[in-house]
Amino acid sequence: MNNTPSSLLEQLQADGISATLDGDGDISFTQYGLSYLLCLDPADAHFSGLMLPRVWQVTSPAQVSQALAVINDINSRLKLVKGIMDKGQVSFIIELWLPDPLSWRDCLARARDTLVHAVHLFVDAMENEPEGLQSPAGNNTHQV
């Protein structure tokens, strides 16, 4: 079996996941109302990541500090999860070294569930703090 991103795309589609391949070789798909990005590196076929991009928008300097503190806490508590903030957009990613891209079929559900758990922790912490975020961002907000 071919181990290219298009082969992984075909396998995901065969598993009933509506997915598309972009020009960079990354695969985007939506499951349970959340939009994911499976980031594949053509220069390193063994390294890739599953991302839940733009789950929250930070809208003030005070919220930046709070969001970074919450992200840091989640990063220290959850295996493999990395929360990141870029230009006020909060995203979560799980990066893995795998034998080949098709190996995502074996761990996609667990990685997806772990990302959703991280987002739930983030949203809960932000909404229950006095400086909680007021402005969600992107397609993934308030759907988890």
Give domain limits for the chain. 5-127
Q: Can you give the pLDDT at residue 76?
A: 96
Nearest to 138 by CA among 49, 33, 48, 65: 33
Q: Kindly state the tokens that stand for 61.
A: 């300097």
d(CA 107, CA 26): 17
Written as one letter, the residue type at 107 is: C
| pLDDT tier for residue 123 given thresholds of 50, 70 and 90 | very high
Helix axes 104-127, 5-14, angle to 10 degrees: 80
d(CA 65, CA 129): 12
pLDDT tens per residue across span 18-54: 899 988 889 999 988 899 999 998 888 899 999 999 9
pLDDT tens per residue across span 69-121: 999 999 999 999 999 999 999 999 999 999 988 889 889 999 999 999 999 99
Q: Tally the residues of the chain.
A: 144
Instruction: Classify domain 5-127 at the CATH topology level.
Output: Yope Regulator; Chain: A, (3.30.1460)
* pLDDT surpasses 70 at 130: no
Q: Can you give the pLDDT at residue 3?
A: 55
